[in-house]
Every structure is written in structure tokens, then in C-alpha cells.
Amino acid sequence: MGRLRWRRWLLIVAGYLVAVAFVGLSAVAGWMYWDRVQTRGEQEARAVLPAKAAKEIPEVFAYDYQTVERSLSAAYPLLTPDYRAEFQKSANNQIIPEAKKREVVVQANVVGVGVMSAKRESASVMVFMNRTVTDKSRQPLYDGSRLRVDFKKVGKQWLIAYITPI
């Protein structure tokens, strides 16, 4: 009788140990999988966003007073919905009226881009941009800018979440 009880107790303990080991290994596997997902997302952001910023920032900042509405409307889909609303308000209240009044033409060229931080769903990029601003006087004004461009992943698309001059 003593041996039977000892075996039963040993089987119960072994069963618990197997269950604990299974749960522990599952947790480790889940953590390793999630870490891999995070790392791949960061790598994708670092690979994609410099070229994307170099292409899209001039689309946001360059315009001709004769086509300023069309130029800025083409830039709106590049922005997150929250930032788009803020940018549209600024464009309608300041940029468009001032561009037409002063007959402003802005050319923008990105001369350097670097990733500041990257996560799976968001990233920040430093953009070095040169602008040439010409108005009625036809005297060009050259301007160099540093911008912090925050991106956010919406669905499968990276959109500009905010632009901060530095």
C-alpha cells in the first residue's frame, strides 16, 4: 500500500512539473516571438523611413502660389488624420492666403535624413532641408532647416504624425 501511494504522489508531482514546464516554455516562446516582431518592425522603420521622408517632406513644404491648394491637397494623404486636420487649418488660415498675397514660390530639397528612434508602430526622423523662397520681389531667400518628423504606422502605411522645426 505504501508503494502505491508513493507512486501516485510521484505521478501527481511529475504531472504538475510537466504542466509548469509547458506553461514556462510557452511563455518564453511567446516572449521570443514578440521580441522578434518588435525587432523586425524597428528594422523595417529604419530601412523604409529615410527614403520616405526624403520624398515626402518636399511634397509637404514645396508649392507655387498659382497651384498652392492643389499642392497642399496632394500632401494631405501623407499625414495622419489628427495632424492632417491641424495642417489643413494652418494651410487654409495662413499658408494659402499668404502665398497668394505675396506670390510665393517655395522649392524644397532634402539634403540629409537620419533615423532618430524607431519602434514597430512609430519612428522619428531628422530631416535636413534647404528651401528657396521667392515672392513678388523675385529675390530668392535661401533657408536651411532641421526638422524632426514623427511617423506613425496606420494599417500598413507610414504616415507623418507631426513635423517639428528644430
Could you list the residue range(s) of the whole structural domain that residue 56 is in? 48-165
As a whole number, the mean pLDDT across the chain is 92
CATH code, 68: 3.10.450.230
Q: Which three cell numbers stand for residue 34?
A: 514578440
Q: Indicate whether 41 belongs to any domain.
A: no
Model confidence at 1, pLDDT cuts 50, 70, 90, reads low
- Look at residue 30 in the predicted model and tell me its pLDDT: 85
What amino acid occupies position 54?
A: A
Q: Indicate whether 21 belongs to any domain.
A: no
Q: Indicate whether 144 belongs to any domain.
A: yes
- Let me know: does 74 contact 59? Beta carbons within 8 Å: yes
SS3 11: helix
Q: Indicate whether 20 belongs to any domain.
A: no
Domain count, the chain: 1
Average pLDDT over residues 104-130: 95
Instruction: Check pLDDT > 80 for residue 8.
Output: yes
Q: Indicate whether 38 belongs to any domain.
A: no
Q: What is the DSSP letter of 77?
A: G
SS3 46: helix
Q: Indicate whether 104 belongs to any domain.
A: yes
Model confidence at 35, pLDDT cuts 50, 70, 90, reads confident
Q: Indicate whether 2 belongs to any domain.
A: no
Q: Indicate whether 35 belongs to any domain.
A: no
Instruction: Check pLDDT > 70 for residue 11.
Output: yes
Instruction: Check pLDDT > 80 for residue 2.
Output: no
